[in-house]
Amino acid sequence: MGEIVAAGVSELQNLSSSDCRRLRDLKQLGVTNLVFPGAVHSRFEHSLGVYHLAGEAVNELKRYQGSELGIEPFDVQSVKIAGLLHDVGHGPFSHMFESGFLPKVLGGAKWSHEDMSDRLVDYIVDEHHIEMEDGMLKKVKEMIVASTEHGSAERVKEKRFLYDIVANGRNGIDVDKFDYIVRDSRACGLGCSFQFERLLQTMRVMDDEICYRAKEYLTVHKLFNTRADLHRTVYTHAKVKAVELMVVDALLKANNFLQIASKIHDPAEFWKLDDTIIKRIETDPHPELKESRDLILRIRRRDLYQFCNEFTVPRDGLEHFKEVTAKDIICSQVSGGVTLQEDDVAVSNIKIDLTQGKNNPLKSIKFFQDYDVDQNFTISDQSISQLLPSCCLDRIVRVYSKKPELVAVVCEAFENFQQQKYGRKTQVHGTPQKKKQRRL
């Protein structure tokens, strides 16, 4: 394993020493380490892991079906490099930057870390005069964006199965998930019963698609279920989201001065953005950064936005769900001596699914009976277990008060909103204010 990691480090450094350093300065889980102290691993470590597993996957297929599938050293190298560089396009604090900060400054324009990874690969190769065949460069970039809408592997004419290894837009099973599910679980002190080795060892290609033994159906389900559990217990933890909301506000307030958003269009500038931007804000005495500095100081002092309450959207409301805004909450205020303003309230709209919204991703996965059979098929969940979920999507609306003294007022407005929206209070937790009253 040491030799594999060393090889990965060498290859990553050969591609670009500066971008190598940048991946070390991007935490895999953003600000999660402020709640789960062990979550300090970086995207550099994750990229090495995906590099290794991508190689394992393609070599496993080559070992058993290489001559049949026409897998060449060129293919193996392309898949491994795609695994190595699949995350170079992430911004500071990763998904928080992409889904929390950018939508508020781009005014509806689309941006994704996969697209930036695509552009950064070109930039890295050109800037550092790296010798890479045009065919391999094209293939690597296509593999990186294979799970995105415009980068769908549907248009690939040959060896399409190779495009499902790193970023699988077809059914969601890929080595990227294999690595981060196990790595994140371990870093956050959680157990992980999902064993990706079983899937790597039993997969086969049929009709140009990676298929799995039927007996591994529940192993595949555990992959998606473990990912959903991580979202619920770690990635969207109430305090993690509170910190994220504060960091987003700090970046928004610093954006005009630091010109953060303007850097996302130019790879030569974008690679300079990483998690150290918070230290830049914290230590820069310029008056225009005072509000941002104050927010960072509040985080350091654990003076976070106060969690008020949350509710899970009822199943009959999922189809036409519209994200709740701070304006929705303040418009529901009917009493109180203080009139809430939009800037007093923060709302987090959380989506947790099994990768395909309400749909069960296992319905898009092909299985085979045994190795001596060359037919694949789908399996209905009813034929496996009656304990599997009938709905694969949760939407959770969570509300925070930015000022501790307004918690009670925000809680009441949030309850009124639920009453107006659903005709009843849908939250199941007591409000922080009521909990305090019970303790007195």
Q: Please report whether residue 432 resides in a domain.
A: yes
Cβ atoms of residues 392 and 353 within 8 Å: yes
| Region for 70 from its dihedrals, namely left if φ exceeds 0, alpha if ψ lies in -120 to 50, beta otherwise | left
Q: Distance between CA atoms of 399 and 331, rounded to whole angstroms?
A: 14
Q: Please report whether residue 381 resides in a domain.
A: no
Same domain as 310, residue 170: no
DSSP 145: T
Same domain as 315, residue 167: no
Structurally, the chain folds into a number of domains equal to 2
**Largest CA-CA distance found in the chain, in angstroms, rounded:** 77
Tell me, what CATH number does 204's domain have? 1.10.3210.10
Cβ atoms of residues 372 and 288 within 8 Å: no
Residue 278 C-alpha from the chain's centroid: 21
Same domain as 226, residue 117: yes
- Domain boundary at 187, 209, 238, which? 238
- Domain boundary at 179, 206, 238, which? 238
Cβ atoms of residues 295 and 249 within 8 Å: yes
| Residue 312, H or E segment | strand 306-312
Model confidence at 434: pLDDT above 60 = no
Same domain as 174, residue 319: no
For residue 205 the two structure tokens come to 């290609």
pLDDT at 431: 74
Q: Please report whether residue 142 resides in a domain.
A: yes
Q: Distance between CA atoms of 394 and 392, rounded to whole angstroms?
A: 7
Q: What is the pLDDT of residues 373-410, one digit of tens each?
A: 889 999 988 788 887 888 899 999 999 999 999 999 99
343 exposed, middle or buried (CB, 10 Å; 0-12, 13-18, 19+)?
Answer: exposed
Q: Please report whether residue 420 resides in a domain.
A: yes
DSSP 2: H
Task: Name 138's bridge partners.
Answer: none
Catalytic amino acids? 113
Q: Please report whether residue 149 resides in a domain.
A: yes
Q: Please report whether residue 367 resides in a domain.
A: no
DSSP 174: -
Same domain as 186, residue 47: yes
Q: What is the pLDDT of residues 219-260, one digit of tens each?
A: 999 999 999 999 999 999 999 999 999 999 999 999 999 999
Q: What is the mean pLDDT of residues 268-277?
A: 95
Q: Distance between CA atoms of 263 and 30, rounded to whole angstroms?
A: 19
Tell me, what CATH number does 399's domain have? 3.30.70.2760
Strands 367-368 and 209-213: parallel
Same domain as 125, residue 46: yes
Cβ atoms of residues 413 and 333 within 8 Å: yes
Strands 393-401 and 367-368: unpaired
Same domain as 212, residue 86: yes
Cβ atoms of residues 166 and 210 within 8 Å: no
Same domain as 334, residue 201: no
Q: Distance between CA atoms of 83 and 354, rounded to whole angstroms?
A: 22
Same domain as 130, residue 45: yes
pLDDT at 72: 95
Q: What is the pLDDT of residues 171-217, one digit of tens each?
A: 999 999 999 999 999 999 998 989 999 999 999 999 999 999 999 99
pLDDT at 425: 86
Cβ atoms of residues 216 and 202 within 8 Å: yes
For residue 214 the two structure tokens come to 């039927």
Model confidence at 11: pLDDT above 60 = no
For residue 51 the two structure tokens come to 């590099």
DSSP alpha helices (H): ranges in 147-265?
175-187, 196-202, 217-230, 238-258
In sequence order, what are the residues at sequence separation of 6 or more whose Cβ sits closer than 8 angstroms to the Cβ of residue 76? 55, 58, 59, 62
Same domain as 209, residue 71: yes
Q: Which domain holds residue 400?
A: 305-354+392-440
- Domain boundary at 212, 238, 264, which? 238
Q: Give the three-class secondary structure for 399.
A: strand
Share the mean pLDDT of the chain: 90
Q: Please report whether residue 62 resides in a domain.
A: yes
Q: Distance between CA atoms of 267 and 358, rounded to whole angstroms?
A: 36
Strands 345-353 and 204-206: unpaired
Same domain as 309, residue 233: no
Same domain as 167, residue 64: yes
Model confidence at 16: pLDDT above 90 = no
Dihedrals phi, psi of 244, to nearest 5 degrees: -60, -45
Model confidence at 13: pLDDT above 80 = no
Model confidence at 41: pLDDT above 90 = yes
Q: Please report whether residue 76 resides in a domain.
A: yes
